[in-house]
Amino acid sequence: MANTAPNAAGPALIVGAGITGLSAAWLLRRAGVEVVIRDAAPRPGGLLAPIDFQGLPCDQGSHRIHPAAHPLLQELTASANWESRTRKGVLVLGDRHMAYPLQIFDFLRGLGPKTAAHMGANFLLRPKTRSRLRRWEQDRTGTDEDIGFEDFVVRRVGRRAYAQFYAPYVEKVWGLDPGDISQTVAKSRVSTSNPVDALKQALRPSVPATFLYPAGGMTELIEFFETGLLSANVSLEFDTPVSREDVKAWKGPVFFSGHLSDLAPGNKLSHRGLYIVHISIPKGTVGDTDTFYLPESKFLFGRVSQPAKFSTDFEQAHCDILCAEIPQGRHGTDADFCTHPDIIQKQLVDAGIIPSGTEILELQQHFIPRVYPLYRRGWLANWNTAIDELGSLGEVLPIGRQGLFLHCNIDQCVHIADEAVRHYLRGEDAHSWRVGAKRFLGLRVRD
């Protein structure tokens, strides 16, 4: 292929071989640009790299592609074995199981009449309820003063819902008092749909929610990109960390999907990690639920999923497998949950995931650092400083979840990579990309 890069002094360097970096490399190479990929890890994949358990390439948690996802990921991987599956999630709240995604009438039944009535009254009696409903989406995407997570949620849904649902969730994931957390968390992660829209949707005929998933797991996507890039003569270099000095010395564009704080140290941008605990239990112990969601602080887990309900390729003849996600929160980085199988077993029983007396056959734990961006109040000033600092390193285009300090979905990462590549191919400079990248901070996470 001829190199069509505008005024390229050398090949493009892709830092990070996760889904963002691999997508950027694919799109650049398709346009004829010479590409080198470097990653400090021993293999590609990033947060989509598989974890081997019981001989299976299990995901690092519950990953899926939503029907409303940006279509580019599927377009790039059209030859992958995508399957459409019906969602069968369960929200565990107050010792009750409710369908997830939430169905409003099922949700209200699950809460019980007294709690539902109190919560509804608390919502309706907030100041300026009608004007807040009209401004629902504008308030979510606006760039006003950071009033903090607590105030934003209370103004939006009321004190009762905040105390029961939202506060325990942020304390579990980030290990901080909700008053210290930015409203960004509510806007991007736990911001609910407009109640009026939700009610209208509930009154329409219901259509089962679905999701897309590769038959061989998310590792199938990584293998697809890796194989294609190697056949296109792209250099993939693993176990190769990239420093600030390496970036500054590179004679060509750098698409950086590593951690922003690695290029701009000292700017107080930090993360919380995630413990992944894979669990094997006797065959037939769990029903058809694909994922259990557990926001309450009494549970260690944030989510517990069944890989076999994402793809039959993960079926085992002798056991069922669960993947429990335990946010770092206040646990620190060196907790060992496998030394307490009795606690894991009791929590699964208390959540109604497995019956009492179920034996845990095997536990395996992995800790993944720097998964959730820690959005403290006032974090945006630190982000702006870090982005500005990249200007001293040359033609650096930060991309993706880590490069832009985002909490986002897989398809959104691919979309960002595409936008960055288009920007570069139009001959626009890295500075204008960094200035415009702030628009991605408003992405809403889907689950």
pLDDT tens-digit profile of 247-267?
999 999 999 999 999 999 988
Would you say residue 325 lies in a domain? no
Residue 214 has pLDDT above 90, yes or no: yes
Instruction: Mark residue 256 as left, alpha or beta (left: phi above 0; alpha: psi -120 to 50; beta: remaining).
Output: beta
Would you say residue 35 lies in a domain? yes
What SS3 state is found at 94?
coil
- Summarised one tens digit per residue, pLDDT across range 122-178 is 555 556 555 554 554 555 555 567 888 888 888 777 787 788 878 888 899 889 888
Percent of the chain with pLDDT over 90: 66
Same domain, 256 and 137: no
Higher pLDDT, 292 or 148: 292
Same domain, 257 and 380: yes
Would you say residue 179 lies in a domain? yes
Residue 120 has pLDDT above 70, yes or no: no
* Residue 199, pLDDT score: 45
Output the average pLDDT for the chain: 87
Same domain, 119 and 248: no
H helix or E strand, kind and range, residue 91: strand 89-93
| Average pLDDT for 333-342 | 96
Same domain, 253 and 382: yes
* Residue 3, pLDDT score: 46
Residue 121 has pLDDT above 70, yes or no: no
Instruction: Mark residue 18 as left, alpha or beta (left: phi above 0; alpha: psi -120 to 50; beta: remaining).
Output: beta
Contacts of 117 (CB under 8 A, 6+ apart): none
- Summarised one tens digit per residue, pLDDT across range 372-388 is 999 999 899 999 999 99
Residues forming beta bridges with residue 84, ordered by sequence position: 212
* Residue 80, pLDDT score: 83
Same domain, 199 and 243: no
pTM over 0.85: yes
User: Which CATH number covers residue 407?
Assistant: 3.40.50.720
Counting other chains too, the contacts that 434-438 makes at CB distance below 8 Å and 24 or more residues apart are 434/387, 434/388, 434/390, 434/391, 434/396, 434/397, 434/398, 437/387, 437/398, 437/404, 438/387
Residues forming beta bridges with residue 38, ordered by sequence position: 15, 237
- Summarised one tens digit per residue, pLDDT across range 35-46 is 999 999 999 999
Cβ count near 404 (within 10 Å): 25
What SS3 state is found at 223?
helix
Residue 195 has pLDDT above 90, yes or no: no
Residue 1 has pLDDT above 50, yes or no: no
Last residue of a domain, one of 156, 172, 203: 203
Cβ atoms of 327 and 333 closer than 8 Å: no
Decide: residue 139, CB within 10 A, 0-12 exposed, 13-18 middle, 19+ buried: middle
Same domain, 393 and 264: yes
Would you say residue 4 lies in a domain? no
Q: Would you state the structure tokens that stand for residue 230, as one six-digit string? A: 């190697």
Q: Quote the domain boundaries for residue 76.
A: 12-53+71-83+216-269+376-442
Same domain, 193 and 259: no
Q: Which residues of 312-322 are buried (b: 16+ CB within 10 A; e: fewer)?
A: ebbeeeeebbb
Same domain, 249 and 381: yes
* Residue 110, pLDDT score: 57
Residue 293 has pLDDT above 90, yes or no: yes
Would you say residue 304 lies in a domain? no
Same domain, 390 and 263: yes
Same domain, 253 and 193: no
Same domain, 134 and 189: yes
Determine if the peptide bond prior to 101 is cis (ω within 30°): yes
Residue 107 has pLDDT above 90, yes or no: no
Cβ atoms of 50 and 19 closer than 8 Å: no
- Summarised one tens digit per residue, pLDDT across range 7-56 is 556 899 999 999 999 999 999 999 999 999 999 999 999 999 999 999 99
What residue ranges in 271-377 does DSSP mark as E strands? Answer: 271-282, 291-293, 303-305, 319-327, 362-373
Cβ atoms of 20 and 222 closer than 8 Å: no
Same domain, 119 and 234: no
The Cα angle at residue 44 between residues 39 and 47, in degrees rounded to 5: 95
Would you say residue 300 lies in a domain? no
H helix or E strand, kind and range, residue 386: helix 379-389
Counting other chains too, the contacts that 149-152 makes at CB distance below 8 Å and 24 or more residues apart are 149/178, 149/179, 149/181, 149/182, 149/183, 149/185, 149/186, 150/178, 150/179, 150/181, 151/183, 152/183, 152/186, 152/187
Residue 439 has pLDDT above 80, yes or no: yes
Decide: residue 82, CB within 10 A, 0-12 exposed, 13-18 middle, 19+ buried: middle
Confidence of residue 194 (pLDDT cuts 50, 70, 90): very low
Cβ count near 49 (within 10 Å): 19
Last residue of a domain, one of 203, 231, 252: 203
Percent of the chain with pLDDT over 70: 84
Torsion of CA 384, 389, 394, 399, to 10 degrees: -40
Nearest to residue 184, comparing CAs of 140, 225, 134? 140
Last residue of a domain, one of 203, 231, 261: 203
CA–CA dist 286, 324 (Å, integer): 14
CA–CA dist 440, 437 (Å, integer): 6
Half-sphere exposure of 291 (CA within 13 A, CB side): 21
Residue with token string 């969730």: 169
Would you say residue 326 lies in a domain? no
Cβ atoms of 184 and 146 closer than 8 Å: yes
How many domains does the chain fold into? 2
Confidence of residue 6 (pLDDT cuts 50, 70, 90): low
* Residue 114, pLDDT score: 57
Would you say residue 436 lies in a domain? yes
Contacts of 93 (CB under 8 A, 6+ apart): 110, 111, 164, 165, 295, 296
H helix or E strand, kind and range, residue 86: strand 82-86
Higher pLDDT, 431 or 99: 431
